[in-house]
Structure 1
Amino acid sequence: MIEFVEKQLIAYGLNEKFTDVATNAVVAMMIALISICLYFIAKKVVLKIIENFIKKSKTKWDDILLKHKVFERLIHMIPAIVVHSFAPMFPSYQVIIQKIAFCYILVFFLLALDEFFNVIDDIYSHFEASKSRPIKGYLQVFKIISYIVGIIVVIGVVMDRSPLILLGSIGAASAVLLLIFQNSILGLVAGVQLSANDMIRLGDWIEMSKYGADGEVIEISLHTVKVQNWDKSITTIPSYALISESFINWKGMQESGSRRIKRAIYIDMTSIKFCDELMLDRYKKIEYLKPYLERKEKEILHYNESNSVDRSNIVNGRHLTNIGTLRVYIETYLKNHPKISKDMILMVRQLAPNEKGLPLEIYGFINDNAWVNYEAIQSDIFDHIFAIILEFDLRIFQNPTGNDLRSMVKCCQL
């Protein structure tokens, strides 16, 4: 080609002194024109054919390849491949041209490889196993390794040194590399432990107060775990923090289909007393209490008569109390509640008294773990409990309010 161009230029009467320069310029423009033409043919024709073929196919993975533009990245290599192939036509500049072309090819190959790793992650995310065994962190490690190898190869080509020699030099500088990639190494180790121990999955509800995280895991990567909080803000947590510090994973609650109630009502202890006949007669009219009271009265009567208890003083023998009767009522009420799980623990218990009174704690599980439904059901239950407290001649403890103080002042004035 060079000889043909050179003869044509001489034939047109060009000075022999400028023939070599003009020949090289014309050949370079021709090569550039061929490169551009091949690039546009590949992009406008070949790529369109590939796109049409992929759209007609029933498989999904090739659509993901198209979405991530892997083929477009590969097409960018075509001009450099053409230039690299024609480099021997310029003996004086052959080595430089080939080095530049090779580096260009390698850069776009690495970019295509980067997107290919994204394609693998995207395809894998469609499988159910991706929620429990995410691979994004591992793919990021492969990306880092591929870029490091690519950079070493480029440096080796530019410096005319074997990449193996450069790798040996890097081995000597491993301490520096460990410092540079400390977070990546920690993230990799954390990712392996999180995955192996099944500590966290995509979609899990986790709570980590130190980082202000309380929501759903939306991404697990090499360095970070992203949590979308319930207020729609996003908290980013370092991966290694999840294995070095404590966090709450509500996965068990979500899988059980139930959600726990653990809340106490504080009873004013000065309102606790034994039940008299009038109180018992009133309580027997309550459906949930009638069978219990009839059975309990017989049991207590038999005990007191068997032990010849002196009934002149209520302290002697056994007697029912209003707090105990309330506890039985609440427990029976919850057992008959359609939204309380019958397969899980349920109890109404007394906690240690304190300055706020006697805590009467309700411990059980609602068979609906949707947050809004759970809060509504729990509120309905406690609405009912608060409303019936006075029926048992009990008072709920609460600190004096402004209205209480005004009432006291009025009484004092009278």
Structure 2
Amino acid sequence: MNEITKYIEQLLASTSLTGGWLSFVTLSMLFATVALIAWLVYLLCIKIVSPLAARITSHTDVVWDDYLFNPQIIRAACNIVPAIIVWMLMPPIFSDHPIIQSLILKATAIYITIATMRLATTFISSLKLFDNDNDKRSATQQYLHSFCGVLKIIVLFLGVIIIISIIIDRSPLTLLAGLGATSAVLMLVFKDSITGLVAGIRLTSNNMVRKGDWITVSKAGANGTVEDITLSTVKVRNFDNTIVTVPPQKLIEDSFQNWHGMEESSGRRVTRTIYLDFRSITVASDELKKALAAEGLMKPEDMNGDVINLTLFRRYMERWLEQRDDVVTSSTYLMHLLDPTANGLPIEIYFFLKQKEWKAYEHHLAEIMEWTYALLPKFGLKIYQRI
């Protein structure tokens, strides 16, 4: 920089400028030179270094470098380089003007701090890209996702402390020590944020809910798929495509239903209750037995002796469920009686369907229940119905 200064002074010596004007023009030209150098270095990083790094990472066999050295991170790093050039070259120019020199140093230091914060937050955000292609997250991925949010808060907090320390010309450690006296006030002001932070960490670290899970939160009106989980919100897309944002502390404090276990199981449970008229439950007559045998619903040897029509119906339904391809026969399937009520005798049908997706599940369930309702009269049974 001294050689550049001497060259500019020799260049201006041949002009008619003297005194203050000579000093002003010299400083202006030196300032413009430093700005030009910083701009050229920035162009070098953006036009050459950035594409070169992208080309190198694209030709490697590993995947992690594509995320950690993506264009956003490289561009954020390139934004710091010009400020470092200014930090190194500019102060000697204004050595005779300490006030201007101090302002330039502070402004450059603040810019470097902000650019470094942006680089750090961009780098932390890139860690989330490792599971960006998955509709669902594992517990480890979700914990990493939440941990990235904590790191961002720490980076922003430290960045603000450093910027304040630069402005007031104090050590950052002094400011951090002084925060102990105001911690009670900060706890009161940021009570909700801290509560949400702790709840979000508990939610993800205990693997209570993950991205892609189907959850039901009745009090919040949420019944759909979890689209995103942060330290302050859980975003749920309902089946009507409305978005419900639930605070993590609500999921911790209140109960909610997670259908993840059902989706990973072999089938989805079905429980339906039918109320039968007591007056229709009788000993099967010979005519009823002949009619059932003629239609192939029951075998004659299964109806020997006195047998109740409801017993025949239960036997047939369990055998019929066992023969269906959409019922999980390895799980429990049965029809059993519940306690009698004033509205008839409740009989519950219990089984698991292989179809767990909502539309297919409802269609197969409706088909089975419609067939059940249609078969009841063939066994001489009637559904209790108030007239």
Please state if 1:32 is matched with 2:32.
no
Find the aligned partners of 1:261 and 1:344 in 2 and give their Cα distance: 12
Find the aligned partners of 1:52 and 1:278 in 2 and give their Cα distance: 85
Aligned to 1:375: 362
Kindly indicate whether the alpha-carbon contact (under 8 Å) linking 2:54 and 2:70 is maintained by their aligned counterparts in 1: no
Identity of aligned residues (%): 33
Kindly indicate whether the alpha-carbon contact (under 8 Å) linking 1:288 and 1:333 is maintained by their aligned counterparts in 2: no
Q: Which of 78, 86, 92 does residue 88 from structure 1 map onto?
A: 92
Kindly indicate whether the alpha-carbon contact (under 8 Å) linking 2:86 and 2:108 is maintained by their aligned counterparts in 1: yes
- Cα shift at 1:393: 1.9
Q: Deviations over 1:153-190 (max 9, x none)?
A: 11111211111111111111111222343334323322
Find the aligned partners of 2:151 and 2:191 in 1 and give their Cα distance: 16
Superposition pairs of residues 261-410 of structure 1, within 5 angstroms: 261-285=270-294, 287-290=296-299, 293-294=302-303, 297=305, 319-400=306-387
Q: Which has the larger radius of gyration?
A: 1
Superposition pairs of residues 236-247 of structure 1, within 5 angstroms: 236-247=245-256
Find the aligned partners of 2:208 and 2:282 in 1 and give their Cα distance: 50
TM-score, length basis structure 1? 0.84
- Cα shift at 1:126: 6.2
Using a 3 Å threshold, how does the CA distance of structure 1 residues 291 and 141 change in structure 2: closer, same or farther? farther
Please state if 1:117 is matched with 2:104.
no
Aligned to 1:49: 52
Q: Deviations over 1:73-125 (max 9, x none)?
A: 11112221111111122111222211111110110110011010011121255
Aligned to 2:108: 101
Q: Which of 2, 9, 17 does residue 5 from structure 2 map onto?
A: 2
Aligned to 1:141: 150
- Cα shift at 1:69: 0.5
Q: Amino acid of the residue matched to residue 151 of structure 2?
A: F
Find the aligned partners of 1:347 and 1:201 in 2 and give their Cα distance: 34
Using a 3 Å threshold, how does the CA distance of structure 1 residues 109 and 84 change in structure 2: closer, same or farther? same
Find the aligned partners of 2:301 and 2:214 in 1 and give their Cα distance: 42
Q: CA RMSD in A?
A: 2.3
Q: Which of 249, 252, 264 does residue 255 from structure 1 map onto?
A: 264
Q: Secondary structure at the match of 2:17?
A: coil
Q: Deviations over 1:304-356 (max 9, x none)?
A: xxxxxxxxxxxxxxx43222322222222222222221221122122233344
- Cα shift at 1:129: 9.8
Gaps of 5+ in 1: 298-318, 401-414
Kindly indicate whether the alpha-carbon contact (under 8 Å) linking 1:137 and 1:188 is maintained by their aligned counterparts in 2: no
Aligned to 2:216: 207
TM-score, length basis structure 2? 0.90
Q: Secondary structure at the match of 2:245?
A: strand
Aligned length: 378
Using a 3 Å threshold, how does the CA distance of structure 1 residues 378 and 160 change in structure 2: closer, same or farther? same
Find the aligned partners of 2:238 and 2:284 in 1 and give their Cα distance: 50
Q: Which of 50, 67, 73 does residue 76 from structure 2 map onto?
A: 73
Find the aligned partners of 2:103 and 2:334 in 1 and give their Cα distance: 83
Identify the range of structure 1 (41-50 vs 123-132) with the bigger mean alpha-carbon deviation: 123-132
Aligned to 2:225: 216
Aligned to 1:20: 23
Q: Amino acid of the residue matched to residue 46 of structure 2?
A: K
- Cα shift at 1:285: 3.7
- Cα shift at 1:130: 4.3
Kindly indicate whether the alpha-carbon contact (under 8 Å) linking 1:351 and 1:358 is maintained by their aligned counterparts in 2: yes
Q: Amino acid of the residue matched to residue 121 of structure 1?
A: K
